[in-house]
Chains A and B, each alone.
Chain A
Amino acid sequence: AQSVTQLDSHVSVSEGTPVLLRCNYSSSYSPSLFWYVQHPNKGLQLLLKYTTGATLVKGINGFEAEFKKSETSFHLTKPSAHMSDAAEYFCVVSDQSGNQFYFGTGTSLTVIP
């Protein structure tokens, strides 16, 4: 079975400082992993994804994530937070068929000016 744990429900950073949003997963096979961002009252936007290949994945808006199989982690990072990054972030793992997506509980990112 697949599952996702987002370790922090809220993260608060100052503008210009690094962002780290943590995600651990559980999967019985090599997973596909995703990070989505949701702004208030909006749908979800894909930030980045990992399927196979390079374990360091670069996404939009300066975000990146590293797939670490030994640690079963897929943490999301950004070197310098911007005010517009304030949003809800979801880590997602899909099953082998790609027809089931398992969502983490979300991390709310606050950026302090």
Chain B
Amino acid sequence: GAVVSQHPSRVICKSGTSVKIECRSLDFQATTMFWYRQFPKKSLMLMATSNEGSKATYEQGVEKDKFLINHASLTLSTLTVTSAHPEDSSFYICSARGIWTEAFFGQGTRLTVV
């Protein structure tokens, strides 16, 4: 299957700083990328959907100014958590889809804000 690489896998940051998470499709062009948040022992919560070259579409309740999503190319999307706080600590997962019906998922990023 296609490969989606997410980086970093783990990050610890201080409260008030910003963190950028990258999601790359390595062997296909991702026309659509998705960003999810997963709380411990819970399912995935869709945060936003981004199409290359367009502004991301955020789900209700997700602060677009806090979670900045950029999808500048067909192989790269980034999620920036701005002014992070401890309650932003979570597991963030991206997925990407191209011409197939299924989405391929990144390995996830464990964010800890201290």
Contact = CB atoms under 8 A, between A and B. Distances in A.
Interface of A: 32, 34, 36, 41-46, 49, 51, 90, 94, 98-101, 103-106, 108
A49 B102 contact: yes
A51 B34 CA distance: 21
**CB-based closest 7 A-B pairs:** A44-B105, A43-B105, A43-B107, A43-B108, A105-B43, A103-B43, A98-B101
Contacts of B105: 36, 43-45
Given A41-B91, A45-B105, A103-B44, 11 more contacts: A32-B101, A32-B102, A36-B105, A41-B110, A42-B108, A43-B93, A44-B105, A94-B101, A98-B101, A104-B43, A108-B41
A64 B101 CA distance: 19
A108 B43 CA distance: 11
Given A51-B101, A98-B97, A42 B107 contact: yes
Nearest to A9: B41
B9 to A, nearest CB: 8
A103 B45 CA distance: 8
Interface string B38-60: 00011110100100000000000
Given A43-B106, A104-B43, A49 B101 contact: yes
B19 interface: no
Contacts of A34: 102
Contacts of A104: 43
A99 B32 CA distance: 8
Nearest to A45: B105
Nearest to B106: A43
A46 B102 contact: yes
Contacts of B108: 41-43
B49 A99 contact: yes
5 contacts: A41-B108, A42-B108, A46-B102, A94-B102, A105-B42
